[in-house]
Structure 1
Amino acid sequence: MERSRNSFTVQKFGLLLLVLVIVPASAFACKVPVFRYALERWNVDQYTMVVMLNGEPDEEIARAIKRVTEVSATDAANVEVQVIDISTLSPKQQWQLEDFDPTVETPHLQVFYPERNGQRKLCWEGSFTSSTLDAWLSSPLRSKVAEKLVAGASAVFVLVECEDSELNQRVEATVRLGVQQAMTEISIPEGVIPRFGANEYLQQHPEASLDDVLRCDVPLKVEFEIARLTFDDQDEKALRAMGSGLAASASGPWLIPIFGRGRMLDAIDAKELSSQTVMNACQYMVGECSCTVKTQNPGVDLLMSANWSESLGGDTVVIVDSQADLSPQLIEIPLGTSTVGSAASLQADVALQAADDQDASHEAGAVDENVTAGNAERSDPSVETWQPGGVLIFILAGAGMLAMWLASRSRSR
């Protein structure tokens, strides 16, 4: 009987420790909504365009290659370019090319989604022409989406239509119902700190975190927009291709939620679509950002011609995912009209910053010139993973599991 009481006591102690783990963990989540965190702090991922030639290109193709190379070099769009002359390759080298078909006519274009976990997926391939390049670099609907996002929209739901107009209308009605419900029932998480006045707020609230301070002055609100991509819209064939790679069926219609700096969630097929499905997507995007590492969140970026840094004021802080360890790093973007650098240069900046500057006040200056260095040292995001709170959670979790194990052994005796 005594053994049973001891077992019950140990079991209660273990459950208490588990509760102590769960409650603080939720408290440490960043209060900034996912959609706003992505807009301010996630740099866009790079698509890869592979242009295949067979000998010297003609004048028009040469101009197109020069243009897309300049676009890539100036970060006018999130794209990298590779030009391959297959006439200079041996048969063995040709077969080593990714997704290469020796029977295709040249010049040929392959467009790959951004790499994820060291791998990339083919998004589209076809003939490389000047008009094809134009369609991939920009389009009216993608420009409209970018304008809505930098104006404060939480997300834009793009309805990619099929040939059945009646089905398209029914799907849009469902989406509108879900969006209206979301804007009525969902609210911005409490604890988000406006950029201006953040210094005073942090001084008056020592428990607050610098992570909860907004990085720009775009209106923060729960607002969802709906846009339609008609079935026969040739200007948007690139957008349709990017969305179809995330869709369960090729025929459509499907719904693509787009937020942040043009990040798409997986396309929702019409067969799976309901107002509750839309509501769930809205709840995720407006919820607290519990995982700040971009690569550990769902979705794929769109290829877009957009200067996000300039549109947001030029002084945002961008978090760059390290390919080596996936840990978030902070990059300071200077004030003014400078653009976000290429992926390679940003990674170089990360290494330079890690080696030469561990002063947290450097990071605080990119958030708000009024935030003091003392506050920055208290809430340095670059070491947030192993703050005392995180260590405490780790210890409590271990103690809880040990207590539960002791209880099970006590019962088995």
Structure 2
Amino acid sequence: MPVFRYALERWPAAPYRLVVLHRGPLAAEEQEIVEQLSDASIEEIPYSNFEVQLADLAAQPDALLERFWNQAGSPPLPCMILLYPPEERIGGAVWSGRLTMNNASVLVDSPVRREVAKRLLEGHSAVWVLLECGDSEKDTSAKAFLQSHLEQMEQILELPAAVRGTLARETEPIVATTPPLQIRFSLLTLSRTDPAESALVAMLLHSEGDLFQYSAFPLAFPVFGRGRALYALVGKGITGANIGEACRFLVGPCSCQAKALNPGTDLLIVADWDAGLAGSIVEALESQLVLGLAKGALLRNMLVALALIVLVVAFLAVRIARQTAKHQL
């Protein structure tokens, strides 16, 4: 099973932690914002991947949260601080902002994230997000180069041999699945200065420790599965070889099924992934594998039984022949 499809079906996105820092009681309009955030969180929507935590620093000081607040530039309270899922092992604040309705909306959702989820549920193997640097010449060149090589990868790469063999048999469980299993790469551009995408930009730039120092270069992130960014290709590192390596990994067989042991960082994308899947190619292929193993075991057992029968018949024939010869004497 290719990595991208296994990830779409079997790797749920880990939940981010959204901390609302304040001192003393929240005003009525502030409490309303928190309630709307809670309604969109994993506590209320099972497919969401963020949880909300209220932290009143006046009632219960928290040294770690205050450190995150200081790292974020000590924005006026009440404020929101977004933290990566613990399993990502990335410390520090991802994003921070005042507790306003606009900031809450930007944090939870954005046009680019909606389009990424839409394409992945349409069957794209990966959606490459090109984070622009603001230099039109560099951005245009990187976009054209990336687009050209992604089209080449679609033509060159093949699904794993075992998958191709199963698809060739056109078994009903495979044919009926949605989205279709295919090799398809697409490209989206993302401006670093787009206010509506500030949370997504922050998630991408914080996914690796040194990406902020490359502000003068475009960055390319392949996003797959349920909104998991594989890693960044930076500036001159956006080469045909590096693009090919990333694509081959995503299309190649998923040799390690544990998400935590594979590269990548989950993004905060609220999308009903399960609702967009009809049937499971992973389960269908696993069933085919089990059936194949069972048939193989049955064939082996039949051959062993046949060999035993042959031995018994041969033994009896020899015994009868000896007895016949003895009586003749």
Fold similarity call, TM over 0.5: yes
Residue of structure 1 equivalent to 2:24: 55
Q: Counterpart in 2 of 1:281?
A: 246
Change (3 A) 1:117 1:129: closer
- Note if 1:308 corresponds to 2:273: yes
Change (3 A) 1:377 1:190: closer
Name stretches of at least 5 consecutive residues in structure 1 with no aligned partner: 1-31, 200-212, 319-366, 380-413
Counterpart for residue 297 of structure 1: 262
Is contact 1:309–1:316 with CA below 8 Å preserved after alignment? no
Structure 1 residues 172 and 137, CA, compared in 2 at 3 Å: closer, same or farther?
A: same
- Counterpart for residue 230 of structure 1: 191
Q: Which residue of 2 aligns with 1:128?
A: 99
Change (3 A) 1:186 1:105: same
2:211 pairs, out of 246, 249, 255, with: 249
The two structures have a TM-score, normalised by structure 1, of 0.62
1:271 is matched by which residue type in structure 2?
K
Contact 1:154–1:286 (8 Å) recurs in 2: yes
Shift of residue 79 of structure 1? 0.4
Aligned equivalents of 2:83, 2:159: Cα separation in 1: 35
Residue aligning to 1:150 = 121
How many Å apart are 1:241 and its aligned residue? 0.6
1:186 paired residue number: 157
1:88 match: secondary structure: coil
Residue 216 to residue 167, structure 1, CA distance change in 2 (3 Å): same
Match of 1:217 among 161, 166, 178: 178
Output aligned runs, 1:20-99, within 5 Å. 32-72=1-41, 73=43, 74-75=45-46, 77-89=48-60, 93-97=61-65, 99=67
Structure 2: distance between partners of 1:75 and 1:299 = 22
Change (3 A) 1:305 1:270: same
- State the alpha-carbon separation in 2 of the partners of residues 184 and 170 from structure 1: 22
Cα distance in structure 2, aligned partners of 1:231 and 1:94: 32
Q: Provide closer, same or farther for how the CA distance between residues 99 and 377 of structure 1 changes in structure 2, counting only shifts above 3 A.
A: farther
| Deviations 1:253-297 (CA, angstroms, capped at 9, x unpaired) | 101100111110122111321122111110010001000001000
Contact 2:192–2:201 at 8 Å: present in 1 too? no
| Equivalent residue number for residue 232 of structure 2 | 267
After superposition, the Cα gap between the structure-2 partners of 1:196 and 1:265, relative to the gap in structure 1 and judged at 3 Å, is same
- Looking at structure 2, the residues matched to 261 and 46 of structure 1 have their Cα atoms a distance apart, in angstroms, of 12
Q: Distance in 2 between matches of 1:120 and 1:61?
A: 27
Whole-angstrom CA distance in 2 between matches of 1:46 and 1:97: 18
Q: 1:266 to 1:118 in 2, by over 3 A?
A: closer
Aligned twin of 2:323: none
Q: Does 1:110 align with 2:81?
A: yes
| CA distance in structure 2 between the aligned counterparts of 1:229 and 1:286, rounded to whole angstroms | 24
1:117: Cα distance to partner?
Answer: 6.9
- In 1, Cα distance between the equivalents of 2:11 and 2:280? 10
Aligned-residue identity in percent: 32
SS in 2 for 1:99: helix
CA apart distance, 1:50: 0.6
Paired positions, count: 281
Structure 1 residues 317, 129: CA separation in 2 closer, same or farther (over 3 Å shift)? farther
CA distance in 2, matches of 1:377, 1:237: 50
- Cα distance, 1:48 vs. partner? 0.7
**For the residues of structure 1 that align with 2:281 and 2:86, how far apart are their CA atoms?**
22
Q: Which has the larger radius of gyration?
A: 2
1:246 CA drift (Å): 2.5
Distance 1:191 1:43, change over 3 A: same
**Contact 1:181/1:279 (CA < 8 Å) preserved in 2?**
no
Deviations 1:153-208 (A, max 9, x none): 11010101112111101111221232122112111112124598378xxxxxxxxx
CA displacement at 1:137 relative to structure 2: 0.7
Q: Once structures 1 and 2 are overlaid, which stretch shifts more, 249-258 or 294-303? A: 249-258
2:57, 2:64 → 1: CA distance?
11
User: Deviation at 1:134?
Assistant: 0.5
TM-score under structure 2 length normalisation? 0.77
Residues 214 and 83 (structure 1 numbering): CA distance in 2 closer, same or farther, change over 3 Å? farther
Give the aligned partner of residue 176 of structure 1.
147
| Unmatched runs of 5 consecutive residues or more in structure 2 | 296-329
The answer to whether structure 1 residue 161 and structure 2 residue 126 are counterparts is no
